[in-house]
Structure 1
Amino acid sequence: MTCQTQLNVPVALTIAGSDSGGGAGIQADLKTFAFHCVHGTSALTCVTAQNTQGVSRVDALPPEAVVAQIEAVVSDIGVQATKTGMLLNQEIIQAVATQVKILGLDNLVVDPVMVSRTGAQLIDDSAVQCLRDVLMPLAAIVTPNRYEAQILSGLAIHTLEDMQAAAQCIHQLGVTAVLVKGGGMTGSLRGVDVWFDGQELSTLKTEQVETHHTHGTGCTLSSAITANLAQGKDLGSAVRCAKDYVTTALNYALDMGQGTGPVGHFFPLLRS
């Protein structure tokens, strides 16, 4: 006898790079989607050789290959929400933006991966401009870290007031909502995020988790927002639920490798 269980589950698409260490990028996104009972699909933009100590090599895929992956998923399976992570160069960013418009991809979460949490710029200036001018206006929400928010707003960010001003400046670029992340801040502002949607300016706080193992938190937050949007939550609820998920995952961060370990995406299995 053949037993078939038919489940109608939401689908999310991540367009991002691969992390061979499994802590960030596509790997973190798919783990996060699975935790939220959302079927995860992917379009790979680049392959990285990396571990808990850093990245040693990055190879970009041709834009045509990225487009083919997106078309293959959307034409057959369909998606309820999409996120972008590391897009690497101007050509890939332009190709992705074109597909978002042609295919009508709603609930777009743009994690503008351009600067690491330590402040190192990861993509060149032409790619930054393309991301800002072409892709971000298509987004439901943009989730820059402190250093990315500085580039996008042109403001130095040291205080909560700076974060709020940056969120308002970035909103003027045409995005629906902005979440300036405080993971790169210090002291009492570490982990404090600022939300702005053109009307509501809010400070979102969760408990501070004392751990060195924070690899993949940005990818995980944006993919959790995406998963919640795919489930039908409104944008504000999706963000709050995603922050709670990341905070709990940080409480179960994995001490592995010789550097910065990943958060515990599957923390229910780690609980004793």
Structure 2
Amino acid sequence: MTARTCSDILVEPLPGTAKQEKVYVLFEWPGGWSRDVLDGDTFGPELTRLLKEKLAGHAGLQLIRRPGRKGHQVGNMHRCYLVWAQSACMEMLLLTGPEKIVELDLTGPGRNGGGSIDSPLVLVCTHGRRDVCCAVKGRPLAAGLVEDFPELIWESSHTKGHRFAPSVLLMPWGYSFGRLNLEAGRAMVRAAATGEYFYPSNRGRGIYDARGQVAELAIARRLIEAGEKVHYGDLSALDKHVVHVDGREWDVDMEQKEVSGIVSSCGDEPKTSRVWVAV
């Protein structure tokens, strides 16, 4: 890898960079993933058009597969997970093909005949056609984690933030993580099994905008460092205002900070961006 490999540049803080989405369709697709899975090259122009119309403004699509050779083998039925991150609700159903996504009712749980899923899912971005970092750093992480958690780990198409590779999405809560090594990844998955909040490498919860993500993470860190156990769903954020389920409330002071030297994708020139930080 070259000196300009984007995820080797560690100048940007992680909080506030999570993929923003409230509803997800996670569709098992072992075949090739084009640079953008909805650019027409993965599913063809006509089905891609229908999928875009179906999902626009309603849900994000992640293609998933099992790590290793196993992930490239699938029968006539494809697993499809529907996630409503705000309520941390996830269902699984079997579809005969991607065209069936168009027929789904994404307005809420319990409307597609799927079974409820109680265990978390960990999506590791390995989308090398989008950015080389995701293949070089994502695939080893996925391969390492699946050895310990064979039912929870999936390779995923682009999760946003390949400059933080390995980039990970945690379902059903919609948290993004970045720069996870294998040891931290294992700790995160173990914590997720009981819903315990994992702060290291946490980029934020994608149901919030950048300010809300930064605010929630700041309070979570404060509580964890004080020795308090925090679980996903304990905190909710509205801009800089954070509320705990037990009634406690905080306002988090924030400011924008200029960060220079950010390389958004491998091969790009460094740039300067403004980020939100808790003060």
TM-score, reference length from structure 1: 0.27
Structure with the largest fraction of helix = 1
Larger radius of gyration: 2
